[in-house]
Amino acid sequence: MSEGGPTPEVESVFDDDDDGSTSGAIRIASVAALGGLLFGYETAVINGATKAIEQDFNVSSGALGFAVASALIGAAAGALTAGRIADRIGRLKVMKIAAVLFFISAIGCAFAPEHWGGGGLAVFILFRIIGGFAVGVASVIAPAYIAETAPARIRGRLGSLQQLAIVLGIFLSFLVNLALRNAAEDGANSPLWLGLDAWRWMFLMMAIPAIAYGVLASTIPESPRYLISKQRIPEARAVLEKLLGEKNLEITINRIRSSMLGEHKPSWRDLKRPTGGVYPIVWVGMLLSVFQQAVGINVIFYYSNVLWEAAGFDESQAFLTSTITSVINIVTTIVAILLIDRVGRKPLLLVGSIGMVVTLSVVAACFSQLTNDLDAAGNPVLNDSGEVVQTLPGAWGIIALLAANGFVIFFGMSWGPVVWVLLGEMFPNRFRAAALSVAAAAQWASNWAITMSFPVIKDGPGLVFGYLMYAAFALLSFLFVWRFVPETKGKTLEDMDALAGVADE
């Protein structure tokens, strides 16, 4: 690009904008957050297709479980590499790469051949991993880009758009799955249009937002901090002038240049202190990511139907309950967006942790009341898999439902969106993308561990043990935030050098 003036992307996004400082920032943050929508859709769409995939590919439950979890493997790899790629080629190009990968995954999963002997499931898993890689990339690039383009006074609200987009993507996948399942005569593995089974259309539908994401990414400006790191100062000045609404930006530009150490190229080595060891702020980011998953939020969304059927709800009631829970998650995320720049990041996390401790403990107490269903002769009732059917007697099922949704409320107004905001803004300019990659990779690894361990816990120590363990992690998250997490409300990204201890070294 030329350094002689504003880029076409800058002009297009801010044309005829009376308040470029706010509305322009909202628009570009919304486009970046589209990656979160695809993130949510890609991770949740498999829920409506698992039984059909098992039947069509004729595979064991173990192979099916790996197919479901394979996206998390790709996500960890994508998150770990996205930061370095973004530092080399720019944030916008990485968004476009992610959009292409989402599109490829949608097409590949939809048209994977059925016969296991011919490698059908292997093909499906390959494209699931590609989609997961795109998810990992999106989980890094969106919070980084939004933090680097948002004015400090509204950065928390704009950063929360990532989590809002994720939960909207999950909800959208629920709606699409339900609509396609109802449109098919005999369920998800019966054919719809063009002879494709309904479950294949569930994946194919992801191609539409993937195309939109790629196209819209061409209409927003590059991150001004990335432009400054590449010495493209006139372009960065044009973006900052529109975003911040200021004419004299030399002080801001000089602060950004100073924090990036001039000609220094970002690398993994930046995460290490001159005196040895990794900067403490990197460990804080990684542990924030781990605790976000360790409280068991994905157990609610990945295994919710199993839980509610155990609580005595039939299959249709369990699906409706899961959908209602996803709506609650959306509403509470909006509450967080309204509060985060007013009350701060740290208070929301602390309140959320305490609320999760209480609600998870109540859920554990409820499942301690599980009893075996008995037939008229007093013998245990077995399900189709030969397992004893258990339900919660009396009001315990309703209490469990209320407590679980209470847990979602406390998570949705705190740890869901706030962690993404902090990961996008808490790291210094010189290694933000690299540190965010490491933290996001830790998050996906934790997600995989919690997701894979839940069936083992459920069939072994039991649900009571599982929910008490998640409650213990919630308590530890409170102590961790109280002691180690800094408040970043209202601070510029250049202030993060001092918070991280980088300015003194």
The distance from CA 173 to its chain's CA centroid, rounded to whole angstroms, is 14
Q: Is residue 186 domain-shared with residue 99, that is, in the same domain?
A: yes
Which of 245, 265, 285 delimits the end of a domain? 265
Q: Are residues 274 and 216 in the same domain?
A: no
Q: How confident is the model at residue 238 (pLDDT cuts 50, 70, 90)?
A: confident
Minimum mean pLDDT range among 148-152, 260-264, 496-500 = 260-264
Which of 217, 234, 265 lies at the terminal end of a domain, its last residue?
265
* Rounded CA separation 222/260 (Å): 17
Which domain, by its residues, includes 472? 268-505
Model pLDDT, residue 140: 80
pLDDT band at residue 433 under the 50/70/90 scheme:
confident
Contact predicate 489/348, CB 8 Å: no
Render pLDDT for 157-182 as a digit per residue (tens, 0 to 9).
777 777 788 888 888 887 877 777 77
Q: Quick one: average pLDDT of 339-359?
A: 91
Q: Mark whether 117 and 243 lie in a shared domain.
A: yes
407: domain CATH number is 1.20.1250.20
The lowest-confidence range among 87-96, 246-255, 290-299, 427-436 is 246-255
Q: How confident is the model at residue 255 (pLDDT cuts 50, 70, 90)?
A: low
**At residue 481, does pLDDT exceed 90?**
yes
pLDDT over threshold 90, residue 52: no
Terminal C-alpha separation, the chain: 34
Q: Which pLDDT value is given to residue 214? A: 85
Separation of alpha carbons 147 and 158, rounded Å: 8
Would you say residue 398 has pLDDT above 60? yes
pLDDT of residue 112: 76
Q: If pLDDT is split at 50, 70 and 90, which confidence band does 303 have? A: low
Q: Please give the share of the chain, as a percent, with pLDDT higher than 70.
A: 70
Residues above pLDDT 90, as percent of the chain:
10
- Average pLDDT, integer, range 309-322: 61
Say yes or no: 207 and 251 in one domain: yes
Among the candidates 265, 283, 302, a domain finishes at: 265
Instruction: Please check whether residues 252 and 276 belong to one and the same domain.
Output: no
pLDDT on residue 33: 81
Half-sphere exposure of 158 (CA within 13 A, CB side): 29
pLDDT at 356: 95
Residues 259 and 127 in one domain: yes
pTM of the shown model: 0.73
What sign for the dihedral angle of Cα 397, 402, 407, 408?
Answer: positive
Categorize the per-residue pLDDT at 374 as very low, low, confident or very high, splitting at 50, 70 and 90. low
As a whole number of angstroms, the distance between CA 254 and CA 257 comes to 5
The whole-number pLDDT of residue 347 equals 92
Based on the domain organization, do 458 and 438 belong to the same domain?
yes
Are 204 and 259 part of one and the same domain?
Answer: yes
Give the residue from 503, 479, 481 showing the smallest Cα distance to 491.
503
- Supply the pLDDT for residue 209: 85
The average pLDDT across 112-130 equals: 73
What is the distance between the alpha carbons of residues 198 and 111, in angstroms, rounded to a whole number? 12
pLDDT, averaged across the chain = 76
Whether 253 and 303 map to the same domain: the answer is no
59 touches 115 (CB < 8 A): no
DSSP letters spanning 305-318: HHHHHHTT--HHHH
Question: Using CA atoms, how far apart are residues 222 and 219, in angstroms rounded to an integer?
Answer: 10
Residues 276 and 377 in one domain: yes
pLDDT tens digits, 59-112 = 665 566 667 777 888 888 888 788 778 878 888 888 888 889 989 988 888 887
- Please give the pLDDT value at position 357: 96
**Span of 46-60, 212-226, 293-307 with lowest mean pLDDT:** 46-60
Q: Are residues 259 and 292 in the same domain?
A: no
Domain tally for the chain? 2
pLDDT, tens digit (0-9, with 9 covering 90-100), for 407-430: 989 998 899 888 888 887 788 877
Residue 399 and residue 490 share a domain: yes
